[in-house]
Amino acid sequence: MFYVAVFGFIGGIFFRSLFPLDPFFLYAPALIFIVCAVLFRHVRYLGYIACAAIFIFLGAMRFAASDYVARGDDFSRIASYTGNSVTFEGVIGGEPDIRDRSIFYTMERLRVLIRDNERAVSGRVLLTTSLYPRLVFGDRVRTTCVLDDPKELGESYRGYLAKSGVYAICRYPKSVELISQNEGNVLKRWLLGIRNNFRVQTQKIFPFPHVGLVLGLLIGDTDGIPNYLKDALIQTGTIHIVAISGYNISIIISLLLTLAPYIYLSRRFAWAAVIPILLGFIFIAGAESSVVRAGIMALIVAFASEAGRLSNCSRVLAITAFLMLAKNPYLLVFDVGFQLSFAATLGLVYISPRISDWLKARFPFRFIAETAAVTLGANMAVAPILLLHFGRVSFIAPFVNIAIIWIIPLAMALGFSAVLISYMFLPLGKVASWFSWATLEYVIRAVEFFA
C-alpha cells in the first residue's frame, strides 16, 4: 500500500503537469473510487485501486495548487501584472547568470509601485540586462518594463521558471536604479562570499584551462571552461562532472565507497568521511536548493552502501521523491537536473551491483570491474532522459567515463587541498597545484582524444 500511495501521488503530479484539466475532472473520479471502495470493500485489490486513485488526485491537486500561484488571478501575485508596463522593485537573489551579451538576474521580495503606493507581491521576476552595470546579490533595484508571461516562450519554459518561483520576465528595461545594497539573506550572502573568494583564490594558482575544470569539479562553476573543452565534454557524455548535481555527486560518493577497501580504509570509516565531504560540497557551492537535493541523493547511495544492501533502499528513495515533489511538484517534469539525479541514483542502487557481480565473475581486476560498474550503472539509467531532452546519447560515454571517472575524486581532493594550502602560503599552494594539474591534464587529454 505504501508504494501504491507514493507512485499514485507522483503519477498524479505527472498527469497534471501534462494535462491542465479543470478541478472537476479530478474530484469526480476520486470520489467515485472512494465510494466504490466503501461499497465493495470485500472485493480483492479494490482497496489498492482506491488508494491509488486518492493519491493520484492528491498529487494532481498539489500541482494544481502550485500552478494556480504561478498563473495568478489577483494582484497579490506578480503573475497578475504580466502584459502590462509596471514599475516595481526587488532584491537580487542568487548569483547572476552571466552570458556573452547579457546577464540574467532573479529578483525576489518584490514591491509593485502604483500611484506612489507600494504593494508587496509574491513570486519572482527574471530580469535580463546588458553586461554593464553589474548588480550583485542583495542589491535592491527599481525598474519599469512590460512584464512578459513565461508561457509565451512555451509551456515547458514556463514550468522551468516556475520551479524556481519565477512567474514573470522583464527584458532589457531602459534603466535599472540601485536603491540599496546588502539586503539579501545574511547566511546566503556569507556563503556566496565564500564561494566567490574560493573562485578568486583558485584562479591564482591554476593555469588556463585547468582552472575552469577544477572550479567546475569543485563548485559547479563552468564559466571558466573554454567552449572547445565544453563541447568536448558534451560530445563524450562527461559534462556531468562539472555540474553540481545528484548525478555526479552520487557517482563520486559511490566510487569513493567502492574503492575504500583498495586503499586500506574500512567501509565504516569511508562512509563516515562521506558526511563532511557532502557538507563541504554543499557549503562551498552556496547551499542552493539544487545542490542540497543533489547531496540528499548522494547520501541515499552512501547510506545504502553502508548497509551493504544497495537494492534494499527502495522505501528511502520513495519517501525522498514524495517529500521533494510535495514541496515543489514542478521538479518532476520541468527539472532535468532532478530527473538525472534520481535516475543516476536508481542506476547506482539497482543496476551497478548486478553489473559489478557479472564483471567480477569474468575479470580478475576487481578495481576496474567495480569502477566500470559504477559508471555503467549510472549511464544506463540516465540514457533515456538524455535522449528525451537532448535528442542524442553518446555511445562512447560509458567508455570515456570509465577512463576518467576513477581519477575525478583524486583531482578534486588534490585541487581542494592546493587551494586551502594557498590560503596559508600562496607559493606553496602553487607548488601543491602541480599534483592536481597532472590529474586535470589527464582528464582534458582523454576527453579531447575521445571527442
Domain boundary, last residue among 154, 180, 206: 180
Total domains, the chain: 3
In the chain, % of residues over pLDDT 70: 75
- The yes-or-no verdict on residue 308 having pLDDT over 60 is no
Examine residue 188 and state whether it is found in any structural domain, yes or no. no
Phi, psi of 208 (to 5 degrees): -85, 140
In the chain, % of residues over pLDDT 90: 0
Half-sphere exposure of 294 (CA within 13 A, CB side): 32
Examine residue 411 and state whether it is found in any structural domain, yes or no. yes
89 and 150 share one domain: yes
The model's pLDDT over 392-432, given as tens digits with 9 standing for 90+, comes to: 666 777 778 777 877 877 788 788 888 888 988 888 988 88
pLDDT band at 449 (very low <50, low <70, confident <90, very high): confident
CA atoms of 257 and 429, how far apart (whole Å): 28
pTM of this structure? 0.73
Distances (CA, A) of 396 to 238, 339, 345: 10, 22, 21
> What are the cell numbers at 281?
560540497
> Is 162:150 a contact under the CB 8 Å cutoff?
yes
Provide the residue count of the chain.
Answer: 451
Residues 6+ apart with CB under 8 A from 61: 12, 16, 23, 26
366 and 296 share one domain: yes
153 and 24 share one domain: no
pLDDT band at 61 (very low <50, low <70, confident <90, very high): confident
Domain boundaries, position 98:
78-180
167 and 217 share one domain: no
CA atoms of 248 and 228, how far apart (whole Å): 21
23 and 118 share one domain: no
The better pLDDT of the pair 88, 25 is held by: 88
Least confident span in 125-129, 204-208, 247-251: 247-251
| H or E, element range at 92 | strand 85-98
Examine residue 214 and state whether it is found in any structural domain, yes or no. yes
Which CATH number characterizes residue 150's domain?
Answer: 2.40.50.140
The one-letter amino acid at 227:
N
Taking residues 132-139, report their average pLDDT: 84
128 and 92 share one domain: yes
Domain boundary, last residue among 70, 94, 124: 70
The model's pLDDT over 117-129, given as tens digits with 9 standing for 90+, comes to: 778 888 888 998 8
202 and 345 share one domain: yes
pLDDT of residue 357: 78
CA atoms of 220 and 76, how far apart (whole Å): 35
389 and 331 share one domain: yes
Examine residue 386 and state whether it is found in any structural domain, yes or no. yes
The CA-CA-CA angle for residues 103, 106, 110, to 5°, reads 135
Cβ burial of 262 (10 Å; 0-12, 13-18, 19+) is exposed
252 and 399 share one domain: yes
Examine residue 187 and state whether it is found in any structural domain, yes or no. no
201 and 276 share one domain: yes
Which residues are paired to 432 by β-bridges? none
443 and 370 share one domain: yes
Q: Which range has the top average pLDDT, 181-185, 322-326, 359-363?
A: 322-326
Q: What is the mean pLDDT of the chain?
A: 77
38 and 149 share one domain: no
CA atoms of 382 and 373, how far apart (whole Å): 14
The better pLDDT of the pair 249, 210 is held by: 210
Domain boundary, last residue among 150, 180, 210: 180
Examine residue 371 and state whether it is found in any structural domain, yes or no. yes
The one-letter amino acid at 347:
G
Examine residue 423 and state whether it is found in any structural domain, yes or no. yes
Residues 6+ apart with CB under 8 A from 390: none
Examine residue 397 and state whether it is found in any structural domain, yes or no. yes
> What are the cell numbers at 69?
500561484
The model's pLDDT over 251-300, given as tens digits with 9 standing for 90+, comes to: 666 666 666 666 666 666 666 666 776 776 676 666 566 667 767 766 76
